[in-house]
């Protein structure tokens, strides 16, 4: 096991850790939800404030997981798959619209294929031109 950095603080063993990266005064955190480690910044320079923020981030992620919402919606594919799951669920319950099958096909064929590996906050007008080029 690698030696722990002196700036690493284990808050909850095997569940919540706050740490500093070299050359950065802001505390980062790692927390486990559903046996998957997530990483986030606390945006705090004070250790006590960072611990509080890290606990909040972990609780928020657990609430999302309990409500079947993707914890990490960093990528377009995560949000698209959530939309597909909801449409398929409505179709299975008999309350979905007929057009949902077409929506699912378009999302799988174009949206996930072209933009799926992109971070959702990095989508801008240049992404649309890429999509237009491929579809046409």
Give the domain extent around 87. Answer: 76-135
How many angstroms separate the most distant Cα atoms in the chain? 58
Whole-number Å distance between alpha carbons of 54 and 74: 18
**Does residue 47 form part of some domain?**
yes
pLDDT digits (tens, 9 = 90+) for 53-98: 999 999 999 998 888 777 776 788 888 998 999 999 999 999 999 9
Q: Print burial letters for 88-106: b (CB count within 10 Å at least 16), e (below 16).
A: eeeeeeeebeeebeeebee
Helices of type H across the chain: 47-66, 76-93, 100-106, 113-115, 125-135
**Does residue 2 form part of some domain?**
no
Task: Please state the domain count of the chain.
Answer: 2
pTM across the whole model: 0.58
Tokens 């619209």 map to which residue? 97
Whether 101 and 54 share a structural domain: no
């Amino acid at each position: 096991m690698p030696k722990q950095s002196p700036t690493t603080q284990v808050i909850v063993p095997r569940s919540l850790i706050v740490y500093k990266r070299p050359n950065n005064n802001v505390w980062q955190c790692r927390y486990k939800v559903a046996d998957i480690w997530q990483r986030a910044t606390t945006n705090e320079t004070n250790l006590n404030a960072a611990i509080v923020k890290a606990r909040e981030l972990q609780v928020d992620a657990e609430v999302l997981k309990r409500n079947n919402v993707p914890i990490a919606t960093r990528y377009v594919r995560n949000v698209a798959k959530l939309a597909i799951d909801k449409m398929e669920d409505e179709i299975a319950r008999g309350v979905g619209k007929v057009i949902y099958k077409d929506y699912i096909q378009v999302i799988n064929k174009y949206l996930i294929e072209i933009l799926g590996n992109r971070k959702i906050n990095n989508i801008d007008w240049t992404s649309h031109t890429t999509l237009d080029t491929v579809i046409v």
